[in-house]
């Protein structure tokens, strides 16, 4: 990593721990900063804070005391999940202090190029595809996944050298806290309404996503979903060189035409060869192909890699088969659009959908067209009654209400038949019953494994 001296003897507040906060605190400590960590969790229940204290880092736990901001801090590094209406963050902004996220630190120390990926849906799958493609037939270095995909960017950047690349998934929360961050290649998969409880409005959410390109110039590439009019309009305001991708039209970039994926008029592979189902994964593949071709990956390597790619955990993940029924885990579908995309990859007549979760106050009317023709639905969680009404309006063949994901698996299996598909794609966040979508997906897969033991 670059040995920068910017933070030597500077007082810096790291607000909030978890993986990214711990990584940022350790990095700043190594760079010579005088680090104070503040985390809401009590010290005796906070092994991360205990670890940092053992390194000589000051820790303040058990709340966010406003008196901290009376100290002469140089800047604040904020955990992305902490909102900007947090009292300490508001006071920092009032004092004119920089409020950054750890992806900015990663950029400042990184010796290698960064490829940044954001969007409402498809970020993780696209990021994973890009990482695999850039590592295909690679002669030197490694494309390293980082960021919102689960590996703190500031930690991965420390481990990377000049021959590597950082393939970084970036959330809107992370992008609000950048300053000089500039990727060599940036991707925006799509933009839809999301995280309004955090951002306050769709406009603010989109503004946060668009931060990705704010420092880019004509020597960097911005890959955009050309099927979205909003992104076409926004492309007129960037200084980056724009590369479009589209499943609807031939464009001067990556596109799908008559079932074939092209880049700049060159056929790369057939869409049917992709190892993951669904039109949304064609979009993800096109974005990934655009990156791969800019980085000189051969068509043969692209084809072989994407044919063997079967998805990432909790994103239309193939779980297994039991007596002719196939099971897929799409627990990451925490909104209606993600479930619509997942449904597009299957034949409704032989599909049983498991859905439900946290009630955020929305109805499911816009999901109804995608539910028409479904063989069945098993519904759970706070939204099960709302989803029941949507299922009735869609004329779904069989509708069952149940307690949770685990019981939904058995319910679905009991009325399924050979050649049916059972898909968990909840269209809701998990927090009414599960700490996160990963645990919800794990429970689905565990229930499948238990069912296999019972139904031998």
| 300/346 same-domain check | no
Kindly state whether residue 1 falls inside one of the protein's structural domains: no
List pLDDT tens digits, range 21-35.
999 999 999 999 999
Compute the distance between CA of residue 56 and CA of residue 228 in angstroms, rounded to an integer: 50
- With a CB cutoff of 8 Å and minimum separation 6, the contacts of 277 are 316, 345, 346
Whole-structure pTM over 0.75, yes or no?
yes
Residue where a domain terminates, one of 255, 276, 308? 308
Residues 339 and 192 in one domain: no
| Domains held by the chain: number | 3
**pLDDT tens figures, 92-145:** 999 999 999 999 999 999 999 999 999 998 999 999 999 999 999 899 999 999
Whether 289 and 432 map to the same domain: the answer is: no
Kind and range of the H or E element at 244? strand 241-246
pLDDT of residue 276: 86
Residue pLDDT, tens place only, 167-180: 999 999 999 999 99
Does 346 share its domain with 359? yes
Mean pLDDT of 284-288: 98
Residue 196 has pLDDT above 80, yes or no: no
Q: How confident is the model at residue 328 (pLDDT cuts 50, 70, 90)?
A: very high
Task: Give residue 425's domain range.
Answer: 317-454
What does the angle CA 219 – CA 252 – CA 344 come to, to the nearest 5 degrees?
115
In the three-class reduction of DSSP (H, G, I as helix; E, B as strand; rest coil), residue 69 is classed as helix
Name the percent of the chain lying above pLDDT 90: 89
Residue 4 lies in a domain: no
How far CA 65 is from CA of 22, 37, 168, in Å, comes to: 20, 12, 33
User: In whole angstroms, what is the distance from residue 223 CA to residue 242 CA?
Assistant: 6
CA 40/CA 63 separation, integer angstroms: 4
pLDDT at 197 > cutoff 80: no
Both tokens assigned to 294:
């800019």
- Count Cβ atoms below 10 Å from residue 237 Cβ, excluding itself: 8
Q: Are 260 and 269 in contact (CB under 8 A)?
A: yes
The answer to whether residue 315 scores a pLDDT higher than 90 is no
Q: Are residues 91 and 226 in the same domain?
A: no
Identify which of 176, 192, 210, 229 has the alpha carbon closest to the alpha carbon of residue 333: 192
Is 277 within a domain?
yes
The chain-wide mean pLDDT, for the chain, equals 95
Residue 199: what pLDDT? Answer: 83
Residues 130 and 78 in one domain: no
DSSP 3-state of 417:
coil
In sequence order, what are the residues at sequence separation of 6 or more whose Cβ sits closer than 8 angstroms to the Cβ of residue 161? Answer: 111, 112, 141
Q: Are residues 203 and 350 in the same domain?
A: no
Same domain, 432 and 350: yes
pLDDT attached to residue 295: 97
Do strands 254-257 and 260-263 pair parallel, antiparallel, or not at all (unpaired)?
antiparallel
Find out whether 187 and 253 touch, Cβ atoms under 8 Å: no
Confirm whether 430 is domain-assigned: yes
Domain CATH code at residue 241: 3.40.1190.10
User: Based on the domain organization, do 125 and 240 belong to the same domain?
Assistant: yes
- 231 and 324, same domain (yes or no): no
At 280, is the pLDDT very low, low, confident or very high (cuts 50, 70, 90)? confident
The enclosing domain of 49 has a CATH number of 3.40.50.720
Report yes or no on 6 lying in a domain.
no
Tell which of 287, 308, 329 closes a domain.
308
Residue 155 forms part of a structural domain:
yes
Secondary structure of residue 451 in the 3-state scheme: helix
In a domain, 401, yes or no: yes
| pLDDT at residue number 398 | 97
- Domain containing 407 — which CATH number? 3.90.190.20
Same domain, 81 and 111: no
Specify whether the CB–CB gap between 344 and 373 falls below 8 A: no
* Statement to judge: residues 267 and 349 lie in one domain: no
Q: Long-range contacts of range 412-418, CB-CB < 8 Å, 24 or more positions apart? A: 412/352, 412/354, 412/376, 412/378, 413/322, 413/325, 413/451, 413/455, 415/352, 415/376, 416/325, 416/352, 416/375, 416/376, 417/324, 417/325, 418/323, 418/324, 418/325
Confidence of residue 198 (pLDDT cuts 50, 70, 90): confident
Residue 256 is predicted with a pLDDT of 98
Of 249, 281, 308, the residue that ends a domain is 308
Give a yes or no: residue 321 inside a domain. Answer: yes
């Amino acid at each position: 990593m670059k040995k920068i001296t910017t933070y030597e003897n500077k007082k810096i507040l790291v607000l909030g721990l978890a993986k990214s906060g711990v990584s940022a605190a350790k990095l700043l400590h190594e760079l010579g900063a005088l680090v104070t960590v503040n985390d809401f969790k009590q010290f005796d229940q906070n092994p991360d804070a205990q670890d940092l204290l053992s390194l000589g880092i000051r820790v303040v736990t058990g709340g966010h005391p406003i008196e901290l901001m009376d100290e002469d801090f140089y800047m604040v590094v904020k955990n992305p999940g902490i909102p900007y209406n947090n009292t300490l963050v508001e006071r920092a902004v009032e004092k004119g202090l920089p409020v950054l996220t750890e992806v900015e630190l990663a950029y400042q120390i990184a010796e290698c190029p960064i490829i940044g990926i954001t969007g409402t849906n498809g970020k993780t799958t696209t990021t994973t595809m890009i990482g695999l493609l850039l590592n295909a037939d690679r002669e030197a270095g490694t494309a390293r996944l980082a960021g919102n995909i689960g590996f703190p960017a500031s930690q991965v950047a420390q481990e990377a050298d000049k021959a590597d690349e950082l393939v970084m998934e970036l959330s809107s929360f992370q992008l609000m806290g950048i300053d000089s961050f500039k990727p060599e290649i940036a991707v925006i998969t799509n933009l839809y309404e999301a995280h309004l409880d955090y951002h306050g409005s769709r406009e603010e959410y989109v503004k946060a996503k668009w931060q990705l390109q704010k420092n880019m110039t004509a020597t960097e590439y911005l890959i955009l979903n050309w099927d979205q009019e909003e992104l076409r309009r926004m492309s007129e305001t960037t200084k980056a060189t724009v590369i479009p991708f589209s499943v609807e039209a031939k464009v001067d970039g990556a596109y799908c035409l008559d079932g074939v994926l092209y880049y700049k008029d060159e056929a790369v592979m057939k869409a049917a060869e992709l190892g993951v189902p669904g039109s949304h994964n064609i979009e993800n593949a096109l974005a990934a192909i655009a990156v791969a071709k800019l980085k000189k990956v051969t068509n043969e390597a692209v084809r072989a890699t994407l044919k063997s790619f079967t998805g990432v955990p909790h994103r239309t993940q193939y779980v297994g088969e039991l007596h002719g029924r196939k099971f897929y885990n799409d627990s990451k579908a925490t909104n209606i659009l993600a479930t619509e995309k997942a449904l597009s990859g299957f034949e409704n007549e032989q599909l049983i959908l498991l859905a439900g979760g946290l009630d955020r106050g929305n109805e499911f009317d816009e999901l109804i067209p995608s539910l028409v023709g479904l063989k069945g639905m098993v519904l759970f969680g706070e939204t099960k009654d709302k989803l029941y009404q949507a299922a009735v309006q869609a004329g779904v063949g069989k509708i069952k209400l149940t307690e949770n994901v685990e019981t939904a698996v058995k319910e679905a299996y009991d009325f399924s038949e050979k050649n049916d598909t059972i898909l968990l794609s909840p269209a809701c966040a998990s927090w009414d019953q599960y700490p996160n979508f990963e645990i919800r997906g794990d429970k689905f897969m565990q229930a499948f494994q238990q069912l296999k033991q019972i139904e031998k």
